[in-house]
Amino acid sequence: MADAKTPWGGRFEGSADEFAARFGASLPVDRRMWAADIRGSIAHARMLGAQGIISARDAADIERGLDEIRREIEDGLFVFDIADEDIHMAIERALTARIGEAGGRLHTARSRNDQVALDARMYAREAAVALADGATALRATLLGLAEEHLGVVMPGYTHMQKAQPVLLSHHLLAYFWMLGRDVTRLRAAFDSADVLPLGSAALAGTTFPIDRAAVAAELDFGSVSPNSMDSVSDRDFLLDLTYACSVTMVHLSRLAEELIVWSTEEFGFITLDDAWSTGSSIMPQKKNPDFAELVRGKTGRVVGDLMSLLVTLKGLPLAYNKDMQEDKEPAFDAIDTAVDCLRAADGMLSTMRVNVDAMCAGALGGFMAATDLADHLASRGVPFREAHEVVGKLVLLCERRGCSLQDLTLDDLRAASPEFGDDAMEAVDIERIVSRRVSEGGTGHDAVRIQILRAKVALAAAQEWLAARREG
């Protein structure tokens, strides 16, 4: 006989063997959606009762039973059984065991197809908020560091070669804006998930007079899905969220790489706190940036999660297919990993020590005044390409002498070009070089102060959005 535990027992004479049941089960992965499942089921039961589809007493019994199950899970007393296949059946079976026939009426006018989609969307919304919260906290830390170290000069790089001096604040704020775009993507992922699928049933809708708008309002959904087939087969919202996690991780990986490089003895720009470093089992002197390396390493894992989800969904015909059971594991892994890495990055940044002297000393090397010398000539009418060549020859001269541009005299400059003015040596002063970058978005002191004000406005807007989502 068919296993009485299966929700399709009437059609089957036999049951799956133990391995097949375990192979087909998603409970170990989707059990984390229990809160969404219970909340969605309560909203569905209330609607069924309000519409007269089930009795008011059955609706009340269902809600009471689900509240009991919620408390058991919260207290760690609920027993999950792999035979239940997924979180939806685990809760429904426990409910029926508690309240009898009324538990079986909960599934009226819905399918596991739209129930799964509902739970995933509710979970995705919460995850998007949690991720945006982590990214916003990290942005606040970056902004705080930028304000604290305003005026600290460091070398800026292109191709990992010293290029031009910049303010440390300017460098840190670059990551602030990167993470701002991540928050924008996470908000878009939230909006993508904020569509109620419940009421689509298996794929064609239902014959019962349900009130989808009422359920949407109770569950705080912004809208109701317009097409039942698309509704049960859509996982774009998980793709959007996993993509947002992937880009966030790429940004965190770039930040981690810089922390790793900056903490080396060769750079010495920062010192990571002991709480975010490890030692060596054989070399007593070592202090390794392991947590930054882990953030960098876990990026590949999250990008892999995105690829896994994309390939799983590729080529699936409408509507629901069992392949879609594989959507949650990569999405959940991407979410968990990104949340943890945001927290780790915040921990490293908020506790690191900035070695100001090393940064300032680094800004003196690498002929980083070369562009400003060329600009000096260009401002005096010399075509920039000609000015570029003149300064390039001066750099060669310095390399032969083993000195810097700041060590040259005005006579040395005029020997290369008589167009150098009396104030030419000001063009190689590092502090002046930085302060002259007055263009909007530049690294000049005044420009960075303006940027900090803009950053505060942007951060406040992100915090306001988060507060509104928490209240909802």
Q: Return the pLDDT at 366.
A: 80
List domains and CATH numbers for the chain.
Answer: 18-108 (1.10.275.10), 118-151+168-198+230-360 (1.20.200.10), 370-428 (1.10.40.30)
* Share above pLDDT 90 across residues of the chain, in percent, rounded to a whole number: 89
Catalytic residue among 15, 169, 200, 280: 280
Angle, helices 168-193/445-471, rounded to nearest 10 degrees: 30
Q: Which residue has the higher pLDDT, 279 or 217?
A: 217
Q: Which of 146, 171, 138, 195 is nearest to 338 (CA)?
A: 138
Q: Is there a contact between 358 and 261 (Cβ–Cβ < 8 Å)?
A: no
Strand partners, 161: 158
* Catalytic residue check, 445: no
Q: Please compute the mean of the pLDDT values over residues 240-255 and round it to a whole number.
A: 98
Task: Give the pLDDT band of residue 204 (cuts 50, 70, 90).
Answer: very high
Could you please report the per-residue DSSP string of 119-135?
Answer: HHHHHHHHHHHHHHHHH
Q: Greater confidence, 367 or 63?
A: 63
State the pLDDT confidence band at 17, using cuts at 50, 70 and 90: confident
Tell me the three state secondary structure of residue 31: helix
Q: What is the rounded end-to-end Cα distance, in angstroms, of the chain?
A: 48
pLDDT tens for 57-70 read: 999 999 999 999 99
For residues 405 and 395, the answer to whether their CB atoms sit within 8 Å is yes
- Per-residue pLDDT averaged across 442-465, rounded? 97
Spatial CB neighbours of 84, under 8 Å, sequence gap ≥ 6: 5, 25, 27, 90, 93
Is residue 6 very low, low, confident or very high in pLDDT (cuts 50, 70, 90)? low
State the Cα angle at 228 between 223 and 231, rounded to 5°: 60
**Could you give the angle at which helices 87-99 and 34-50 cross, rounded to 10 degrees?**
50
Q: In this model, does residue 195 exceed pLDDT 70?
A: yes
For residue 158, give the H/E element and its range.
strand 153-158
Distances (CA, A) of 470 to 12, 127, 463, 466: 46, 12, 11, 6
Lowest-confidence pick of 43-52, 195-204, 248-257, 368-377 = 368-377
Q: Sign of dihedral through CA atoms 128, 32, 93, 83?
A: positive
**Among residues 55, 88, 111, 159, which one is catalytic?**
159
Alpha helix positions (H), 314-444: 328-351, 356-362, 370-379, 384-401, 410-416, 430-435
Q: Can you tell me the distance from the alpha carbon of 309 to that of 328, in angstroms, rounded to the nearest whole number?
A: 9
pLDDT one-digit tens code per residue, 310-332: 999 999 999 999 999 999 999 99
In whole angstroms, what is the distance from residue 103 CA to residue 455 CA? 52
Three-class DSSP category at 424: helix
Average pLDDT in the 426-430 region? 91
Report the distance separating Cα 420 and Cα 378, nearest Å.
10
- Between CA 39 and CA 241 the distance in angstroms is 22
pLDDT for 2:
40
Q: Which of 50, 145, 117 minimizes the C-alpha distance to 359?
A: 145
For residue 280, indicate whether it is catalytic: yes
Query: Nearest-CA neighbor of 313 among 254, 239, 384, 387?
Result: 239
- State the pLDDT confidence band at 4, using cuts at 50, 70 and 90: very low
Which tokens go with 399?
């390399």
pLDDT of residue 35: 98
- Judge contact between 109 and 48, C-beta under 8 A: yes
How far apart, in whole angstroms, are the C-alpha atoms of residue 302 and residue 14?
A: 40
Range 129-139 average pLDDT: 98
